[in-house]
Structure 1
Amino acid sequence: MTKENVLSFLSCYRQLNNTPYMFPSDLMICIRDLWWLRTRHGVKNPLNCILFGPDWQSILPITDLPFIDDSDNCYGKVIHEYKEELNSMGVIVEFKDGAKFVVEGICSPSDSTSITPATVFSLLECIRILMQARNYFSPIALSIRISKKWLKTTIGYRFPDKCLLFNSSWGSYLKRTDGPFIDEDFYGVTLDFRKGYPLIASHLDFHVQLPTIVRIYNYLSKCGWKPDSEVAKRIWIPNLNQIGEWVITEECVLHDKDGLFSSQLKVLDKYLETELLDFFSNAFGVGEYPSVDKYCNLWKVWESSGHRLSHADCCKFWSFVSKHGSAETLADRLVKLPVESSDSDRILLSNKHDVFIADDPQLKDLFERFSSQPLFEETSSVDVAQLNQVNPKEILIAKGLVMLILGFLANPVMKMGAKKRHETIQGLLNITFLETVEPITVNYSLSLSSGEIVNARASKIIHLNRKASMFFAQKLDRSSGYKNLIEYATYFSEAISEGVLWEKNDHVGALSELIKLAFMLEFNEEAVIFLMKPKNLQIIKKDKKFLASAFPSD
């Protein structure tokens, strides 16, 4: 229909409405259903048209609606003179009656600044009308229809379900700038502050200031929030300028009591309040202290960097791993071990195959003259010229000595059963004893991992080669004076104790002192029994039988 046809038809319709004439119902249905009105969306029937008016102006920036074309190229402004007639035919002429069209025609504008408060109020009014009517859209369908970026927040325009409405409940924990909050005058977004934590958490990346981050973390803690992805598990750590970085939880720990991980891990108690530490432990799974694995990784860093440790740091490391790590783990993970430096008060790390545990000070002093890299294992040999094999029971391994050792091994703190005690003593009795009138020359050989072999020689009066089950001793001259006697007793008691307690070397010193004193008393049995009593040592029944079988002639 042309412009003239439409205007003529509307004029006739008005005139007939002013008479008693009644339009047939079939004719009215045709008028409403037939497509004869031209709109901005093309030709439509009256039921799908809107006659533009001042009330519609504010909603224009976020909608695309089927307004009747009132441009000069079409009907012109004269079409508005027929507002009542168009309304009776089904055309929407009042804003309140067009809520359905507004929601269906909502769109995201190319220029968000065109969305004014009046625009949002008009849209909210339409939403309210539809929510009250309940005969157009279900709540879900309505939510989908209005899901466009038309609400202005502190971080720009957002979808309604991505916005929060700030009120006094939020104010106890956050500021308006901490999340995607809209003005309090807006409607249709989250009101309960406890339901908004997913949005607040997703907004964390927008912040870089420590006070803001702490406020948000406190709020998330109150809400019992937990990250639902690996990205969300990142933790913000400030630097010297308080402009920090986001790090993964694996790089964080709550405490570092030993102070060893400042360059390896982010220690949260340095940056955040104590009240928040439980939150990071429960929600993010941050460990309270560095694990054994972290300690081993730290040692790896020290190994590769050539780092020289202080004695304090070295002790802290080994104190922790000795309590919490297994021997198997440490053996597999650690390549280097701590070694004292001869030219510094710092600790060097050396290949574990080149490290010697210096539990023998004399041997340590000997090798320090030849190499700065002692070895874990040593091999030794003795010049056997002029060595004579002797019966140990006749000169050294007396019954009194065996009594003393059995009593010591039977002490409950040793945790050694009768069978093990008897095997230990039998091993001592089976040792080959070699004696010479001259000092014993012992040759030591250390093989380094580099292939170098370090050799050393030492002169000794007593030497026990446990692996070879051989005991070397310079012949004792008891008339040579007390100094020589106590020296001999000392070396003898140390050798015997180390041979007997090689698996329990913590007790070597105690046994050695008892043997040394008994040696000076020539292992007199009554004197030995007297020595044992103050130490609560005694010979139990099973050991008495063994002792009798070992010394049948006594």
Structure 2
Amino acid sequence: MFEHSEACQFIGKRLMGLAASSNVTRSNVFSILNFVKFLGQNYLSPDCFISSIRGGSWLKTHHGYMSTVGSVLFDQEWKAASQISNIPFIDQAYYSEEILCFKKELQQLGVVPSFNQHYVLVIQHLKSPPYLTSLEDEAVLLVLKSIRNSYSSVYNKLVQALQSTRCLKTTAGYKSPRECFLLDPEWGCLLQVFNDFPILDLKFHGSSTSSWVNEFKQLGVLVDFEVAVKKIASNFQQKARSSSISKNNVLSFLSCYRKLKGMSHKFPPDFMKCICDEKWLRTQYCVYPVRSPQECILSGPEWKFISPIAMLPFYR
């Protein structure tokens, strides 16, 4: 052999023979990396050598021995991803920190050297749902970024895995996205009338969470007024029929109702019918003390002369 390319292919073929018999040692791997570095420093193309060894499974990772193509070099940018994905990281405990000195050569061989928005890779190696519960805030943010920066055909796998998994921290503990509500600055007060709804914990997830409305919606979190108000009406009806609406609940609801009257959100007819027909206001009428709003009277000076001779259902 006289040509540089022939020598490179011969060396590569020899190394892949060792790989086939699982005899590529740690020392061999560093020899490979040093050879790639040597070729580059001496202005010799490493392409022939690299193409001859790329397909072999000789690099030790957390998934066992793999090809360099698709393997990943861990750094702190991958910390959040490692919470939700089984990334095939190079085994740094085996190779020691010395492996970090060959980032350029590893990249030439097909290794992913840094996170650099590799959201598709994160989704491809996603853990199974039982391992996706109780996510940390940085992992949730990565999920949202993955949805925003991927096509639906890619992130659907992520959505399906998380929709029914108790992965999001709320005011009622960890819940699945389908059980959660995102607190809207305009109508969110309705969710707090009874404190029964699991609202995303913004102290935990961060105030910037509200800027990811579309991504939360893709996960299944309830973010739309029209959808949320149906849940609220159903809850209100149950509370009214079990006579468990307190004075504080009433005052909280009236305050929120006053606030929303001046905003763009309008209560749908079904909601208003529920509020008007259900019995949830306490009155001074002894026989039926709890009545619907249309059956109540708001006490005032104008009723002073009739109240001694009539038991009127004044709102208490």
Shorter-chain TM-score: what band?
0.5 to 0.7
Structure 2 CA distance for partners of 1:16 and 1:203, relative to 1, 3 Å: farther
Distance in 2 (alpha carbons) for counterparts of 1:32 and 1:150? 38
Give the corresponding residue for 2:176. Answer: 159
Percent identity, aligned pairs only? 25
Give the corresponding residue for 1:12. Answer: 35
Mapped contact 2:73–2:113 kept (Cα < 8 A): yes
- Structure with the larger strand share: 1
Give the corresponding residue for 1:53. Answer: 75
2:111 counterpart (91, 107, 120): 91
Larger Rg: 1
**Structure 1 unaligned regions, length at least 5:** 227-235, 241-258, 260-268, 277-554
Distance in 2 (alpha carbons) for counterparts of 1:203 and 1:41? 49
Structure 2 CA distance for partners of 1:204 and 1:42, relative to 1, 3 Å: farther
1:62 counterpart (84, 95, 100): 84
Segments of 4+ moved more than 6 angstroms: 201-208
Distance in 1 (alpha carbons) for counterparts of 2:67 and 2:269? 55
Secondary structure of the residue aligned to 2:187 is: helix
Q: Does 2:46 correspond to 1:23?
A: yes
Give the corresponding residue for 1:222. Answer: 267
1:123 counterpart (120, 135, 143): 143
1:189 counterpart (216, 240, 243): 216
Match runs of 1:274-423 below 5 Å: 274=293
Secondary structure of the residue aligned to 1:46 is: coil
Secondary structure of the residue aligned to 1:95 is: coil
Q: Does 2:187 correspond to 1:174?
A: no
Distance in 2 (alpha carbons) for counterparts of 1:66 and 1:206? 51
**Structure 2 unaligned regions, length at least 5:** 1-23, 218-222, 261-265, 272-277, 296-316
Deviations 1:77-115 (A, max 9, x none): 2222211221222222222343122223344576966x4
Distance in 2 (alpha carbons) for counterparts of 1:78 and 1:157? 41
Secondary structure of the residue aligned to 2:190 is: coil
Q: CA deviation at 1:137?
A: 3.0
Give the corresponding residue for 1:33. Answer: 55
Secondary structure of the residue aligned to 1:157 is: strand
Q: CA deviation at 1:205?
A: 12
Match runs of 1:455-494 below 5 Å: none
Distance in 2 (alpha carbons) for counterparts of 1:275 and 1:30? 84
Distance in 2 (alpha carbons) for counterparts of 1:62 and 1:52? 15
Distance in 1 (alpha carbons) for counterparts of 2:235 and 2:52? 55
- Structure with the larger helix share: 2
Give the corresponding residue for 2:99. Answer: 79
Match runs of 1:420-459 below 5 Å: none
Mapped contact 2:81–2:139 kept (Cα < 8 A): yes
Q: CA deviation at 1:52?
A: 0.8
Point out which structure has higher relative CO (alpha carbons under 8 A, 6+ apart).
2
Q: CA deviation at 1:9?
A: 0.8
What amino acid is the match of 1:92? V
Secondary structure of the residue aligned to 2:89 is: coil
Q: CA deviation at 1:274?
A: 2.4
Distance in 1 (alpha carbons) for counterparts of 2:233 and 2:136? 28
Distance in 1 (alpha carbons) for counterparts of 2:117 and 2:137? 21
Farther-moved stretch of structure 1 (10-19 vs 188-197): 188-197
